[in-house]
Amino acid sequence: MSAEAKAHAPRRVRLLEVDLLRFLAALAVVLYHYTGSRGGPFEGEKARELFRPVSALTQFGYLGVELFFLISGFVILMSVWGRSMADFAVSRIVRLYPAYWFAVLLIGVIYYTTGLGWGELETVIPNLTMFQQGMGVRNASNVFWTLWTEMHFYALISILVIAGVTYQRCITFMASWSVLSVFAHESNSKIAESLLIPEYAPFFIAGMAFYLIHRFGSSLLLWLFVGFSWACAVRYAVPAAVEKAYRIAPADAWPAVAIIVTLTFAIMALVATGKLSWLRWRFFATLGALTYPVYLIHYDVAPPLARLIYPAMAPWTATLTIIVIVLAAAYAIHKLVEEPLAAWLKPRLRESFARLQTADTGTRRGRRARPSGTSPDDPAARVPHTNESEVSPLPARTVPQPGEEPHGSTPSAPIGSTI
């Protein structure tokens, strides 16, 4: 975005309804692991049996991940609009890695102090990269697989960022990915499926379509993208729930899976059309900030905590106690790990990427590269900083005419990543 565009950028506001949805999606996953799964944190007990009849509902909480992916498609497209590849890379590193590094090290500590989990040193070290799944190394936590799926999405959308994000290019990107992902599934090619993630592509693509609706207003073409993605999402979600070897849900539960997937699409449609904009409680921003650390640690801290308090406490009392401890720990991680590390990493990463540009143009190296003829105190020599926890209000809801590209940008907090 040009300096002139930045100077005339409107005041930014945050999409608090998205923060709330992220937290609710994370809570659904937590309740699934604690009360609805075939395992659970209580040694010798199956959560699905221990918490009947509530588990008849919470056994579908794993579908909160699908809502995460929808939100990610929406928010990542919003966050890359008008930004460079360097901006995108910095935002992803700063957002994902500080809490993740802490979680991986915590899993190692849990393993070496209790013997629980998969925190062996040979597992922890490659897990610190977040690329362990691609290396053939098991995830230190069962929830980390979603981060690898997000990485695939980031790699794909990087193509769009490098080309330059415009309305027309988004449509081309979404159409190409939609069709090629179906071809990848048909081909049964591991390479094609790894690159195009056909099982989860519909959620990311629909999220992108919802953002375009949010930014430019409804159009038949965008709703056709949503409808096509919904049909594919249901097609992939049902077999994943009831047919695979691990059978997340009972074999007769497929109507519930289809209904819940449909509800996640309906909720995002409400966000896209502004029907949830009345959710303006500022505390939702705090809940949104807790979502990522809650997701990262809840699975692995629960078993050792359960050992300490169960069966001395009743199952529900123990579960609620663990949830409160997880929320408190997540808040501490956000304040003591994420915020300080982000504040340290962001300017240094920006300077590192700035040096790539100056090195290519032959500018001399120094502590901070700056245009010739400027002093260190010259505002023109400073690296611009933006508040990534906020997003610009929408421009006029006008779909670009043929040959015309949308103006302005809508930077956003990277509040969809996940997980």
Asked which of 149-163, 236-250, 276-290, 340-354 is least confident by mean pLDDT, the reply is 236-250
pLDDT band at residue 321, thresholds of 50, 70 and 90? very high
Cα-based torsion angle of the residue sequence 357, 359, 362, 367 in order, rounded to the nearest 10 degrees:
100
139: left (phi over 0), alpha (psi -120 to 50) or beta: beta
pLDDT in tens, 198-231: 999 999 999 999 999 999 999 999 999 999 999 9
* Prediction pTM value: 0.84
Q: What is the mean pLDDT of residues 283-304?
A: 96
Given this model, what pLDDT does residue 384 score?
Answer: 40
Given this model, what pLDDT does residue 238 score?
Answer: 80
CA nearest to 298, candidates 29, 57, 48: 29
Query: Which DSSP category does 218 fall into?
Result: -
Residue 376 clears pLDDT 70, i.e. is over it: no
Report the C-alpha gap between 380 and 390 in whole angstroms: 24
Percentage of the chain with pLDDT > 90?
A: 73
Asked which of 17-21, 86-90, 111-115, 254-258 is least confident by mean pLDDT, the reply is 254-258
In order, the DSSP letters of 129-161 are TT-HHHHTPPPSSTTTHHHHHHHHHHHHHHHHH
Given this model, what pLDDT does residue 237 score?
Answer: 87
Q: Where are the alpha helices (DSSP H) in 164-253?
A: 167-187, 190-196, 201-216, 220-242
DSSP three-state, residue 48: helix
pLDDT in tens, 233-260: 999 888 765 555 445 656 567 788 899 9
pLDDT in tens, 385-406: 444 434 444 444 444 544 444 4
Given this model, what pLDDT does residue 33 score?
Answer: 96
Q: What is the mean pLDDT of residues 106-120?
A: 96
Given this model, what pLDDT does residue 114 score?
Answer: 95
What residues does each domain of the chain span? 12-359
pLDDT band at residue 383, thresholds of 50, 70 and 90? very low
Given this model, what pLDDT does residue 3 score?
Answer: 42
Q: Where are the alpha helices (DSSP H) in 33-141?
A: 47-50, 55-58, 64-80, 85-114, 121-127, 132-135
Q: What is the mean pLDDT of residues 25-43?
A: 94
